[in-house]
Amino acid sequence: MKIWTSEHTFNHPWETVAQAAWRKYPNPMNPAVLGTDVVERQVVNGVLHTHRLVSSKWGIPGWAQRLVGPSNICYASEQSQVNPSKRHMELKTRNLTFGSFIAVDETLSYEPHPEDRNKTLLKQEAVVTVQGIPLNSYMEDILTKTIMLNANKGRQAIEWVIGIIDKEVTDLKLSAAKSTDELKKSLESARRSMDEFSTTAKKTLDDIHNFTSSSNIPEF
């Protein structure tokens, strides 16, 4: 069994990082993860519980595939909890493919940094266990190194998604400002039209009054 742990600080608030974590896959940094599918989702006492199926390509060496089987597409089960009131998000993932020989239990925890609430601390742990096949310790080393490399790609992906979110927010603000300007112009145009209508109507009434006052209208 091999255990790998790591911590990383994002210079973004927890709400931003948590949102980006949901949208992390797929991404260009780690194309091995093909996507995620929601199996079940519910809110219990204000906590969001989600079960997702993660599909990916492990890229196991050919000699290892002869021992555990081909690795075209591998699946993992992800259980997560998001508690917005406590600003805590936790994801636990375990592989389903190769489960008879390989167990990879990974836990990711996102919470505000204890020294700066405007930053987010990511704690990550992976426990790798290989059994029932030769060279199990060697396989555990390979998988642990792969997890370490993918963890770095995952952090880059979070920053990538945050960049997308920032752009979306900027575009939304610009769109809202444009809509507000267009509304102001429409209201100003409508006001001018009403003023012109009022002026025209007043002039017409004045003309009618002047006409009736100056005309010799016979009495019957």
What mean pLDDT comes out for the span 195-215? Answer: 68
What mean pLDDT comes out for the span 205-212? Answer: 67
Q: What pLDDT is recorded for position 142? A: 85
Q: Which of 32-36, 80-84, 160-164 has the lowest mean pLDDT?
A: 32-36
Beta bridge partners of 81: 49, 90
Task: Provide the pLDDT confidence category of residue 201 given band limits of 50, 70 and 90.
Answer: low
CB of 47 within 8 A of CB of 82? yes
Burial class (CB in 10 A: 0-12, 13-18, 19+), 33: buried
pLDDT of 191 > 80? The answer is: no
Q: Which sequence spans correspond to the domains of the chain? A: 2-171
**Rounded Cα distance, 4 and 6, in Å:** 7
Q: What pLDDT is recorded for position 78? A: 97
100-111 per-position pLDDT tens digit: 888 999 999 999
- For domain 2-171, say whether CATH 3.30.530.20 is its number: yes
pLDDT of 202 > 80? The answer is: no
State the pTM of this model. Answer: 0.75
